[in-house]
Structure formats: structure tokens, C-alpha cells
Structure 1
Amino acid sequence: MNLDLLLDNLTNPALLFFLLGIIATRLKSDLAIPDNTSKFISLYLLFSIGFKGGQELAHSDFHMEIIWAVLFGILIAVVIPIYCFFILKQKFSIENSGAIAAAYGSVSAVTFVTAVTFLEIQKYTFSGHMVAVMALMEAPAIIIGVILIRLYNKKEASSSKMSAVIKHSLTNGSVLLILGSLVIGFLASEEQAMGIKPFTTDIFKGFLAIFLLDMGIVSGRKLDDFIKSGWSTLVFAIVIPLVNGIVVAFLSQLVTDQVGNRFIFAILAASASYIAVPAAMKIAAPKANPGLFLPMALAVTFPFNITFGMPIYLSIILRC
């Protein structure tokens, strides 16, 4: 791995604000971002990414690579939760195995947003259709997770309706906003887009830094609960995302030769959902313990990906 690339990432202000949030909680500081402010910033980040992705898509020629990219993304979101479930089932209950598998098969929009900034710093671009790929990868893993729970736990199957879970997955706020923004960005003319550029582009990195500060505070609060779950969860939360990211970094060359697109595929495969999946599993698998899969995704996998994972995946892509 390129050490200069790793060093550049570790000194990224957005990442340092994330670490500041963790430090603040460990020092028992009263530093906090108000809930309404945090929610607004997360909505803004999704809106900005979706809108800019739509603009990029509007200026791109439609070709088979877009179709293959969508299919490849959905395939990733289907395969990962299946093999993760059978690994997890050796240690955890059916409900927890299905929920954790769904979290690691689905994607993190915040990780995606951070990855976009990382690419900009490294002077690489990605295609607008990758925003749509990201949004379309959220639901399949949730559905697969629920199906696996239903197959291996007949009692749980009778207490949840698949149609309700599918509907919740597709109408989840983060999915709906980023897809809606993508469509709006696609329909808007270049002149209209320039009118809101100060909002969609100029202040993006500042809001990202504040949001990651909040994510650091939330992660720090969940560390103690996670530590109590044992070493196996820590190993899973690091090794599985790393394997997923590295494998997809290699395989993505079958779909596209663009560095930025391949990197997005890798980081999406390596990420874990801690927004859409917990909300869906509350309906589909109420016995699943969010105190287990939330800290795994948010307090371990997320910081690992944005510190070490991204430089690793990019280095692999640049070498093959």
C-alpha cells in the first residue's frame, strides 16, 4: 500500500474531526451536535451527492457500462449477506445473523459521501450513475437478510410480512432522497444547477466535517457495548469488509476500467449500513439486537474504512 496515500488520508480534516468526536466521548466531554442539526446535515449530504450525480449522468452518454454497473452492484448486495449469514450463524442467533449479514451486504451512504471526498483529494472522478448504483444496493441485502431469517426460523417468519419490509427498504428516507435528488439533478439544466452550486458544492466539505464529528461522538458512545460482545465481532467487523473491498476492487475491472468507479464499487462492498438496516430490522426481526450490529458497523467498520480501507482499495485498483 502507498504510505503517502495513507498519510494523506489520516491527515484529512474530515477524518480528524471524526477522531475528535471519539476522543471527546472518551474524555466524557459535553460536546454534542443537536439531533435536528445532525439530521439536517445528513439530508444535505445525500441531497448534494444525488444532485451532482444526476448532473453528471445528464452529461454522460448512455451505454452498456451503466447497465453492467447496476447489475454488478445488485449482485454484490445479494452475495455478501448470503455468505456472511452462514459465517455468523456459527456463533449468533438466526435473527442476529440475518441482521448483521444484511448490514454488511447493504451500503453506508455516509461512507460513500466520505469516499467521494477522498477521490476528489486524490484527483480522481467517478461517473454519475454510480450514485444510482449506491442507492439501488441498499434494499437487496435487507431483503436477502429477511429471507434467510424466514428460511431458518419459521417462528420469526410468521411475525413479519415480506411486503412491508420491501416497501420500507425502497421508501427509506436516505434511499428516496438520494434517488429523488439524482432525478432532479438529471432534469435540471446546467444554468439552473449553477444557481444552487454554492449550496450543493462550495459548502459540502465543511458540512461533511461537522457530520463526521457527530459520527465520531456516536461511535465513541457505542464502543463500550461493542467491547463486551467479544473479539469475534471485532474480527468480523474488520476482516469481512476488508475481504469484500479487496475482492471487489479486483473484480470491478470486469465492469469498468475507470479508477473512480472501481473505487466506489470497492468501498460500497466494504461498507456496512447503520441507518436503513436497523430501521428495517426493527420491523422484520424485532428480536435482533441492535446493540450488536450497530456498533459493529458504526464504531468499527466505518472508521476502519475511512482510515485504512480507502487507501488499501485504491492502491489495489491502481496496481491492476
Structure 2
Amino acid sequence: MGFLSDLLTGFLTQLQSPTLGFLIGGIIVAALGSELAIPDAAYKFIVFMLLMKVGLTGGQGIRDSNLTEILLPALFAVATGILIVFIGRYTLCKMPKVKIEDGIATAGLFGAVSGSTLAAALTLLETQGITYEPWAAALYPFMDIPALVTAIVLAGIHTSKQNRKKYLNEPYLNELGGTTEGQPNTRRGITNDRVKIWPIVKESLQGSALSALLLGLVLGLLTKPESVYESFYSPLFTGLLSVLMLVMGMEAAARLQELRKVGQWYALYAFVGPLAHGFIAFGFGMIAHYATNFSLGGVVILAVIAASSSDISGPPTLRAGIPSANPSAYIGASTAVGTPVAIALAIPIFIGLAQALGG
């Protein structure tokens, strides 16, 4: 009973945090029909500032750490990102009226990482005085890129199979009215549908969110940014995050209408998925905790990035990589349900669990 009591107390404490309060406030304001709006340029600047700060923290942490400590958590991050996509492929995609491309894209977005959710988790960890490895934020790309690549590859394989079935069931007729039995497979579109991995990785790396994070990592690793970090990035972090949470709350309420268009299975997946994914990553993190002394705060970060769903770099990558998928399905599920669940439920649950385990 003591463990469950500590877990519940920690969870309720996190729900009272200003970070979650601003998220809920944004949802309420939008639901009441307010015309309050944050300019898009300001939103992009806030995201850039937050991810630069996270990247600088991670870069400085890597510079001052033993790289062997990072290896196992990084491998677990890669494995979790890939596993999340396969879970979605064989759960959500099997539901009635769920188009397979839409389900795979949704799983890919939930396997990818939200920089804003990560920033919220770091703020709450610091507020609660829970220590974590400064380099733990650098686990972001290790989960994000493999998830997006896996989703686009699976969608490409599915499309290729569908093209092959279509060809076998409906023989292609050439201009003269004959079949294509002797024609090259390129005319049939069934063997040259190979998915190219590098363009997917390149597009992910060039995305605004990951670019900002990686830039911060490199600068933190190769330069000495402590003075600008302490005087500029660190003091602004919490305030900027509160504004971002307000924007995300309003965006979540706006996306609810889109989510209604694609059915209840996406809503169910978006509610259950973040928690299930987070617990899988938390389990991996605990293995790293006992094997390499990975901190409980680091375990929370690994669980939170697994519970998050990409809100910045993921959507454009998936739009380009899986053009046949319906953005209302995967973006609506992520923004309207997945992100609020990750921030309002997953973060408090995993912080509370870490506090309970830490005694």
C-alpha cells in the first residue's frame, strides 16, 4: 500500500504543476470559442528556443560523460521507436475501417518524439528535484528517426504488395490491347517500389525540431556555451514552455473535430498508446538502471519520449513519406488526444513511479 500511496501522491502533485495548468487552460479557452491566438512566427521561435536549450544541455552532458554509459539507453531508445511502430501495425491497423496506410502513419507519429513534451518532462523533473543525466535528452533522435523510417518502410512494403496484387488480379493492358506478360516489371510498378532509407533519414534530420536539437547538441559538445546558457536559455525556458503548452492546448481542442472524422479507434489508440509505449520504455529503462546505473530520472525521460508523439518534425516527414495516408487521422489522433495524454497523464505517472521506486 505504501508504494501505491506514494505513486498516487506523486501523480496528483504533478497535475497541479503550472506546465499542465497552461495546457488545460488552452483547451478550455479554445473550447469556449475564444479568438486568442499566438502568431505562428512566435510559436516557431519558442519551439526553437526550447529545443536549443535541451540540445545544449545534452551536448554539455555528453561532453562530460563516459560514452559507454549512453550506449545501452540509446539502443533501448532505438528498439522502442521501432517496436512502437510494429505494435501499431498489428493493433490499430487491424481495427475495422482503419486504412492500413493511415494506421502505419499514426503509429509512426506516436513512435517519433515530441520536443515540447520532452521539454515539459525536463521542467517537471527539475521542479521535483529528480536528477537525471544531462545527456538523456540526446536519446530523442535515437527513437525519433528509427520510428519514422520504420513507418515509411512498412507503408512502402504494403503499397508494393497492393500493387502486386492489383497487377495479378487485373492484368495491365498495353497500348495495343495485349497483356504485359513479357514487359519489364518497371511498367507494372511492382519491383521497383523499393523504399529508399537515406532520403527519409535526411528529411528527418533536416526537420526544424531535430535540426534545432542537434545544433544545440553539437554546440554544447564542441564549444563552451555555459555563459549564454546560464544567462539566456536557462532563465527563459520555463516561461516559454508555459506559452507553448497554452498553444498546444488550443491546438488539441481544434483538432478534435478532425479526429471525429476518422473514427473512435484512433481516439482509443491515442489514449492507450502513449501509456502503453511509456511503460514499455520504462521497463527498458529499469533494465539499464540496474545494468549500468542509469538514473531513475533518465528512465522517466526514456519513458516520456516513448509516450510522446511528434508534433513538429514528424507530420511533414510522414506527409512526404506516406502521401496516401490521411493527415486528419494521424495528426488529429496525436494532437487532440495523444499529446494531452502524454503531458497530463504519462509524465505525472512516470515521475510518480520513479519517486515511489526511489523511496
Query: What is the TM-score of this pair, normalised by structure 1?
Result: 0.93
Match of 2:301 in 1: 264
Over the aligned positions, Cα root-mean-square deviation in angstroms equals 1.9
Shift in Å, 1:231: 2.5
**2: CA distance between counterparts of 1:280 and 1:115?**
24
**1: CA distance between counterparts of 2:263 and 2:81?**
27
Match of 1:42 in 2: 47
Q: For the Cα contact (< 8 Å) 2:60–2:135, is it kept in 1?
A: no
> Given the alignment, which residue of 76, 81, 84 partners 2:80?
76
Q: For the Cα contact (< 8 Å) 2:137–2:301, is it kept in 1?
A: no
**SS of the counterpart of 1:124?**
coil
Match of 1:172 in 2: 207
Q: Write out per-residue CA displacement over residues 51-84 of structure 1, whole angstroms, 9 at most, x where no aligned residue.
A: 1222222232x14221112111111111110121
Query: What is the TM-score of this pair, normalised by structure 2?
Result: 0.83
Shift in Å, 1:318: 4.1
Match of 2:69 in 1: 65
Count of residues in correspondence between the two structures: 317
**2: CA distance between counterparts of 1:291 and 1:199?**
38
Percent pairwise identity: 30
**2: CA distance between counterparts of 1:210 and 1:14?**
9
Farther-moved stretch of structure 1 (159-168 vs 211-220)? 159-168
Shift in Å, 1:100: 0.8
* Structural mapping, 1:149-164, within 5 Å: 149-154=155-160, 155=163, 158=193, 161-164=196-199
Match of 1:140 in 2: 146
Farther-moved stretch of structure 1 (23-32 vs 268-277)? 268-277
The residue type paired with residue 71 of structure 1 is L
Match of 1:213 in 2: 246
> Given the alignment, which residue of 273, 285, 302 partners 2:310?
273
Q: For the Cα contact (< 8 Å) 2:92–2:265, is it kept in 1?
A: no
**2: CA distance between counterparts of 1:276 and 1:195?**
26
Q: For the Cα contact (< 8 Å) 1:6–1:307, is it kept in 2?
A: no
Unaligned runs of 5+ in 2: 164-188
Kindly tell me: are residues 288 and 193 of structure 1, through their superposed partners in 2, closer, same or farther at Cα, counting changes over 3 Å? Answer: same
Q: Write out per-residue CA displacement over residues 243-297 of structure 1, whole angstroms, 9 at most, x where no aligned residue.
A: 1112221231211241111001111111111222211111111121111111211
Match of 2:127 in 1: 121
Unaligned runs of 5+ in 1: none
Report whether the alignment pairs 1:94 with 2:100: yes
Match of 1:200 in 2: 233
Match of 2:288 in 1: 255
Shift in Å, 1:196: 4.1
Shift in Å, 1:183: 1.4
Report whether the alignment pairs 1:317 with 2:354: yes
Larger radius of gyration: 2
